[in-house]
Amino acid sequence: MKILIKGGRVIDPGQGMDTKADVLIDNGKIVEIKGKISAKAQETINASGKIVAPGLIDMHTHLREPGREEVETIKTAARAAVKGAFTTISAMPNTDPPCDSRANALFLTEQAKKCALANVLPVGTITKGRKGKEIAEFFELKDAGVLSVSDDGDSIKEAEITRRAMEYASMVDMLVISHAEDASLSAGGVMNEGFTSSVLGLAGIPSEAENIVIERDIRLAKLADARIHIAHISTAEGVEIVRDAKKKGIKVTAEVTPHHLTLSDRDVKTFDTNLKVNPPLRTPEDIKALKVGLKDGTIDVIATDHAPHLENEKEKEFDYAPFGMIGLETALSLSVMGLISEGYLDWPELIQKMSSNPARILKYDRGTLKPGSPADVVIIDPEKKWTYSAKLGQSKASNSPFSGREMIAAANYVIVGGKVVVKNGQIT
Ligand code: DOR
Ligand code: ZN
């Protein structure tokens, strides 16, 4: 099927492209990008005033399938993804069973294919059963299409096991994603440790719980010559550690979530349990450092950490509610409002952080509009104003503190593998 996208602002950071042009898609692939294309197509889309870009890639999504399908399924997360302009999501392995074998990885990709919405990239576990003891079979995972491994949700306690995992990952060229948290320092904490936690009488999680493990894992990655990616970085010192490591040529990359860029520990005064996330929302000074880190290239990626939870689990006292908030449907708008509107990034830089860089870091052959590539394309209306309602969203869960917020920018069209899955903002 031929699709012709006419007159949009075509942004493809991988090719250094930001120009008004037409894009022709045929048979699931990008065929041509040129000033004017006159081809007969089954579908012609007028993209005037819109941005045409490679589909967004989320490096950090929690699906809850297999194991907790009542909370979120591959299908409901994939629906939320495409609604939010994502054409690929990376499925974190803290599921039941966790993705620690070839069969478990293939289950995810097969289920995703049946939904025919977003692509799903399984993230394998670093250790078998995510128990932090025995290293998983990376070679077997790699063979099943797994591009990265993580025990996300937990850090690996033992430095020695982390070192060996990195050596193995380096051998098979697998990306290691680090959830950096020293559990002995964060134990019992429910929010950022500081003035606000004292005022609110809530137990704190110090920044050092994160910084120490970022430092450790970067040092071990250097030792093992592995590629390490720091998940959901949240502290100013963490940004500084990554910046220094990059200067030394260590193969480190980092991601930040839209919520860590938007909300601070001060917001927790409402005791809204949707603000309970791990790592915790930090201080306004940390937010500033995260934005500067994005701007200067220290932080490569914006990733959601979409973490669905049931309403009755979140309707508890702050101390007892689970960590996490959903984010697939709000990530683009929050990033536009927090970064483009505030002058930290321009559109090409934002597309780079949400598509080209995730693809490059994962060594995934998407995140580009190069002719011959699979046609994962989004058409974004950069001016679209809308109000977010978590209840009316596509995710099965509604644990978001952003309900009722005025948003700017939305996916107008989403094309995955040459198939239109969102048309005029609606899932087809
Ligand atoms: O807030 C979080 N929720 N952080 C994590 O690392 C895990 C996630 C979850 O799975 O709920
Ligand atoms: Zn995590």
347-352 contacts at long range (C-beta below 8 A, 24 or more positions apart) = 347/9, 347/11, 347/18, 347/51, 347/382, 348/11, 348/13, 348/18, 349/13, 349/295, 350/302, 351/11, 351/12, 351/13, 351/51, 351/53, 351/54, 352/13
Q: Which residues pair with 192 in a beta bridge?
A: 205
With helix as H, strand as E and coil as C, how does 159-196 read? HHHHHHHHHHHHHCCCEEEECCCCHHHHCCCCEECCHH
Nearest CA owner, ligand 1 atom 10: 307
Mutate to test the pocket of ligand 1, among 61, 68, 94, 304 (most ligand atoms within 8 A of CB): 94
Rg (CA), the chain: 20
Question: Residue 162: is it exposed, middle or buried by C-beta count within 10 angstroms (0-12/13-18/19+)?
Answer: buried
Give the atom of ligand 1 at the shortest distance from the alpha carbon of 152: 6
Nearest CA to ligand 1 atom 7: 153
249 alpha carbon – ligand 2 mean position (Å): 25
Q: Is the CB of 180 under 6 A from ligand 1?
A: no
Q: Is the CB of 62 under 6 A from ligand 1?
A: yes
Nearest in space to 147 (alpha carbons), one of 175, 167, 125, 166: 175
Give the rounded distance of the alpha carbon of 124 from its chain centre.
16
| Average pLDDT score over residue span 1-16 | 98
Tokens of residue 55, six digits: 């589909």
Kindly state if the Cβ of 216 falls inside 6 Å of ligand 1: no
- Tell me, using a 6 A CB cutoff, whether residue 323 lines ligand 1: yes
Q: How far is the CA of 358 from the centre of ligand 1 (A)?
A: 20
What does the alpha-carbon distance between residue 36 and residue 7 come to, in Å, rounded to a whole number? 8
Confidence of residue 116 (pLDDT cuts 50, 70, 90): confident
> Average pLDDT for residues 14-30, to the nearest whole number?
98
Q: Which domains does the chain have, with CATH numbers?
A: 3-51+374-427 (2.30.40.10), 55-362 (3.20.20.140)
Stretch 310-334: mean pLDDT, rounded?
A: 98
**How many whole angstroms from 182 Cα to the centroid of ligand 1?**
15
User: CA torsion sign, 64 to 69 to 70 to 73?
Assistant: positive
Percent of the chain scored above 90 by pLDDT?
A: 100
CA of 248 to the centre of ligand 1 (A): 31
Q: Is the pTM of this model over 0.95?
A: yes
pLDDT at 425 over 90: yes
Average pLDDT over residues 174-186: 98
| Contact between residue 289 and residue 45 where contact means Cβ atoms under 8 Å apart | no
- Mean pLDDT, residues 63-91 taken together: 98
Residue 264 in this model has a pLDDT that exceeds 90: yes
- Provide mean pLDDT across the span 369-384: 98
pLDDT in tens, 128-157: 999 999 999 999 999 999 999 999 999 999
The rounded Å distance from CA 258 to ligand 2 centre is 14
pLDDT for 151 = 98
Q: Is 130 in the pocket of ligand 1 (CB under 6 A)?
A: no
Ligand 1 atom with the smallest distance to the CA of 179 is 6
Nearest CA to ligand 1 atom 4: 278
**Which neighbouring-strand residues pair with 32?**
24
Alpha carbon of 301 to ligand 2 centroid (Å): 15
Nearest CA to ligand 1 atom 9: 307
From 305, 318, 399, mutation site for ligand 1 pocket: most ligand atoms within 8 A of C-beta: 305
- Cβ atoms of 95 and 68 within 8 Å: the answer is yes
Q: 2 is written with which tokens?
A: 């031929």
Percent of the chain scoring above 70 in pLDDT: 100
Does the C-beta of 152 come closer than 6 Å to ligand 1? yes
Predicted pLDDT of residue 177: 98
With beta carbons less than 8 A apart as the criterion, state whether 85 and 407 touch: no
pLDDT digits (tens, 9 = 90+) for 218-227: 999 999 999 9
311, pLDDT greater than 90:
yes
State whether the beta carbon of 265 lies less than 6 angstroms from ligand 1.
no
Catalytic residues, by residue number, are 305
d(CA 179, CA 293): 19
